[in-house]
């Protein structure tokens, strides 16, 4: 009974905002004290799919950044965390990985902004991608530390003495063992990029308009219907990823 | 023949292998007795190519293999704990070395089935390692190591974590398979009885130095090995029992 109630509460907490934003995204002219908007239209949605719309570009930009950051940080994090696990001064390197989190992302953005200005990457998608990697990559490195245990490193050595090459060991031993962690890390780093605001705004100079940036822009403009649509789009990929990983996420509720 | 000449290995200022030299003829088992921390594991890992020696040479059939990577040495290192691949079934664990060598599927099937019979693990073929007992896991590790007939087996106290009964059964299994497949092996142990039971040749290791004995008798006579101490203990027990009986 308790389990069922918890599942209902959790499902409602996830689904209700979707319902609310969906209604809002198809609404027009909503004035106090009306409970619902006075008119309903698909104009906002049509605008999204018609091309050349700010929202469509924002969605594509966010997807490129999210996937790019997730792929790069997961792969690099997996490789570098192994090197750190084998390093003589493992804790020193790990301390370095914590550095971006000790500083806040905004302070970090101020510190690295000069580099992006000098290299001409300020205001560019590539600059924002690198900026977001400053957060996502150390996260992945720290995340994979738990994977490179003594046992996993010994399994790798065992595979080598049984005659396997490094590539064979990676494909047939390490990747299958790390599969669930790789998925979770991909998911988490995608979300880091997807919801990132401070670094994106600072390095992107307001020119790289991701969905998160657009939500804030529409809210500032009091454009609640566009803000609702943008919010809905922001919530959609994480919800899909959550659904895909439901057996890990909802396990033990 | 495996020939090790003047292998030296130090970690910072601490010498772990002090000019170790030994020869193991093909098809023979060298039992290396030594206490914890004497350098046995480092010796085996150096031979397997998992640790580079600071000096000295390792030769197989007269040719140096110092620069040969672990995967090409054909020397399987067996860890103290039976390290099975947890995501693979017993069948696939045993087949691992054959699959690495791209052995045809029909041959893989027949060799693995035959090895499973040899290890008395037929009914466990599709189980995962976490469904096996310690002794069964060690048997799978053995089967996986010898199925492709490597040049040398390097065994690092493989039965140390097993209970006395399973340990005895594993020692017999090892001897049977070693004889059947003509296995060349370095068997490291801290158990005097195990060394005497398993070895064709005998060595004692202490503080990174290895002493090779001419015969089993010479090994037993050396007070350093502790064989005499062990015998004296059992004699005293026997004496006490017979005195009490009177």
> Each residue of A202-217: b (16+ CB within 10 Å) or e?
bbbeeebbbbbbbbeb
Residue in B93, B61, B91 with CA at minimum distance from that of residue B74 = B61
* Beta-bridge mates of residue B15: B10
A12-21, A102-111, B91-100: range with lowest mean pLDDT = A102-111
Cβ burial of B235 (10 Å; 0-12, 13-18, 19+) is exposed
- Looking at the predicted structure, is the pLDDT value of residue A251 above 70? no
Chain A residue with CA closest to B149: the answer is A162
What is the fold of B2-212? Rossmann fold (3.40.50)
Residue of B nearest to A168 (CA): B100
Nearest-neighbour CA in chain A from B48: distance (Å): 7
**B69 interaction partners in chain A (CB closer than 8 Å):** 160
* Nearest by CB: B87 against A151, A163, A176: A176
Contact A158 B101 (CB under 8 A): no
| Residue A105 vs residue B58, higher pLDDT | B58
B-chain residues near A159 (CB < 8 A): 85, 96
**Domain assignments of chain B as residue spans, ordered by start:** 2-212
Question: In this predicted structure, which of A53-57, B3-7, B149-153 has the lowest mean pLDDT?
Answer: A53-57
Q: Which residues of A touch B145 (CB under 8 A)?
A: 162
A168 vs B: CB within 8 A: yes
- Residue B155's pLDDT is 92
Put simply, the answer to whether A177 touches B86 (Cβ < 8 Å) is: yes
* CA–CA min distance A91, chain B (Å): 19
pLDDT score, position A250: 62
CA-based nearest distance B7→chain A, Å: 20
Beta-strand runs (E) in chain B: 2-11, 14-24, 29-34, 55-60, 63-64, 75-78, 152-156, 184-189, 201-206, 209-212
Respond yes or no on whether ipTM tops 0.90. no
Strands B55-60 and B2-11: antiparallel
Q: Which residues touch A63 (CB under 8 Å, ≥6 apart)? A: A237
The pLDDT score that the predictor gives to residue B245 is 67
Inter-chain touch A161–B48, beta carbons under 8 Å = yes
Which residues, 6+ apart, have CB-to-CB distance to B40 below 8 Å?
B32, B34, B156, B157, B188, B205
Identify residues of B whose CB sits under 8 angstroms from chain A CBs. 48-50, 69-77, 79, 83, 85-87, 96-97, 99-101, 144-145, 148, 154
Q: Does A149 touch chain B (CB under 8 A)?
A: no
Q: Do A161 and B72 touch (CB under 8 A)?
A: no
Contact A160 B71 (CB under 8 A): yes
Between chain A and chain B, the number of residue pairs with CB atoms below 8 A apart is 53
Determine the pLDDT at residue A222.
81
Of residues A169 and A92, more confidence is placed in A169
Question: Residue B100: which of A151, A155, A163 has the nearest Cβ?
Answer: A163
Chain A: residue nearest B77 by CA? A161
pLDDT digits (tens, 9 = 90+) for A41-85: 887 787 777 767 888 888 889 999 999 999 999 999 999 999 999
Reported pTM: 0.82
* Token pair 């046995």 in the structure block, residue: B40
Contact across the interface for B74 and A155, Cβ inside 8 Å:
no
Question: Looking at chain B, which residue has its C-alpha nearest residue A155?
Answer: B83
Residue labelled with tokens 């057996």: A247
Question: Does residue A253 register a pLDDT over 60?
Answer: no
The pLDDT value given to residue A51:
67
Q: Which residues of A touch B148 (CB under 8 A)?
A: 163
Q: What is the pLDDT, as a whole number, of residue B39? A: 87
From the list B138, B56, B50, B159, the residue with the least C-alpha distance to B94 is B138
The confidence score (pLDDT) of residue A80 equals 95
Q: What whole-number distance in Å separates Cα of residue B200 and Cα of residue B218?
A: 13
Comparing CB atoms, the residue among A160, A164, A177 nearest residue B87 is: A177
CB nearest B144 (choices: A151, A157, A162): A162
Which of A88, A157, A163 should be substituted to probe chain B, the one whose Cβ sees the most B Cβ atoms within 10 Å?
A163
Tell if the CB–CB gap between B74 and A163 is shorter than 8 Å: yes
For B113-123, b/e burial (b = at least 16 CB within 10 A) is: eebbebbebee
Sign of the alpha-carbon dihedral angle for B221, B225, B231, B237: positive
- What CATH class is the domain A47-248? mainly alpha
């Amino acid at each position: 009974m308790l389990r069922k109630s918890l599942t209902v509460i959790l499902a409602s907490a996830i689904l209700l905002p979707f319902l609310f934003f969906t209604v809002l995204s198809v609404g027009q002219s909503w004035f106090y004290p009306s409970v619902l908007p006075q008119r309903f239209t698909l104009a906002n949605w049509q605008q999204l799919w018609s091309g050349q719309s700010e929202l469509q570009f924002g969605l594509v930009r966010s997807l490129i950044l999210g996937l790019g950051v997730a792929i790069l940080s997961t792969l690099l994090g997996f490789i570098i965390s192994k090197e750190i696990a084998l390093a003589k001064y493992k804790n020193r390197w790990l301390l370095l990985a914590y550095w971006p989190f000790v500083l806040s992302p905004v302070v970090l953005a101020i510190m690295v902004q000069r580099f992006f200005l000098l290299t001409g990457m300020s205001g560019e998608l590539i600059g924002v991608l690198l900026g977001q990697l400053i957060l996502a990559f150390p996260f992945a490195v720290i995340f994979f530390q738990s994977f490179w245990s003594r046992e996993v490193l010994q399994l790798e050595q065992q595979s080598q003495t049984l005659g396997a090459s490094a590539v064979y060991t990676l494909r047939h031993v390490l990747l299958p063992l790390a599969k669930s962690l790789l998925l979770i890390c991909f998911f988490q780093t995608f979300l880091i990029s997807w919801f990132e605001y401070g670094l994106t705004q600072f390095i992107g100079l307001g020119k790289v308009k991701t969905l998160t940036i657009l939500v804030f822009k529409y809210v500032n403009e009091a454009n609640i219907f566009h803000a609702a649509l943008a919010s809905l789009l922001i919530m959609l990929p994480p919800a899909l990823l959550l659904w895909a990983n439901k057996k890990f996420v909802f396990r033990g509720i | 023949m495996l020939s090790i000449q003047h292998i030296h290995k130090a970690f910072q200022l601490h010498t772990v292998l002090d000019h170790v030299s030994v020869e193991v003829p093909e098809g023979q088992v060298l039992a290396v007795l030594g206490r914890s921390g004497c350098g046995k594991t480092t010796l085996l890992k150096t031979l397997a190519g998992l640790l580079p020696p600071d000096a000295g040479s390792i030769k197989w059939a007269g040719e140096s293999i110092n620069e040969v990577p672990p995967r090409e040495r054909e020397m399987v290192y067996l860890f103290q704990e039976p390290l099975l691949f947890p995501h693979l079934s017993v069948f696939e664990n045993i087949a691992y070395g054959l699959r690495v060598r791209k052995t045809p599927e029909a041959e893989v099937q027949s060799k693995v089935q035959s090895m499973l019979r040899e290890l008395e693990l037929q009914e466990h073929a599709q189980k995962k390692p976490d469904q096996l007992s310690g002794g069964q896991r060690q048997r799978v590790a053995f089967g996986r190591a010898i199925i492709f007939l490597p040049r040398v087996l390097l065994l690092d106290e493989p039965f140390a974590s097993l209970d006395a009964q399973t340990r005895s059964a594993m020692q017999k299994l090892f001897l049977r398979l070693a004889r059947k497949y003509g296995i060349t092996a370095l068997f490291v142990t801290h158990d005097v009885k195990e060394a005497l039971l398993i070895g064709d040749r005998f060595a004692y290791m202490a503080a990174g130095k290895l002493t090779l004995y001419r015969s089993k008798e010479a090994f037993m006579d050396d007070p350093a090995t502790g064989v005499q101490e062990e015998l004296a203990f059992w004699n005293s027990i026997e004496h006490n029992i017979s005195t009490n009986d009177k």
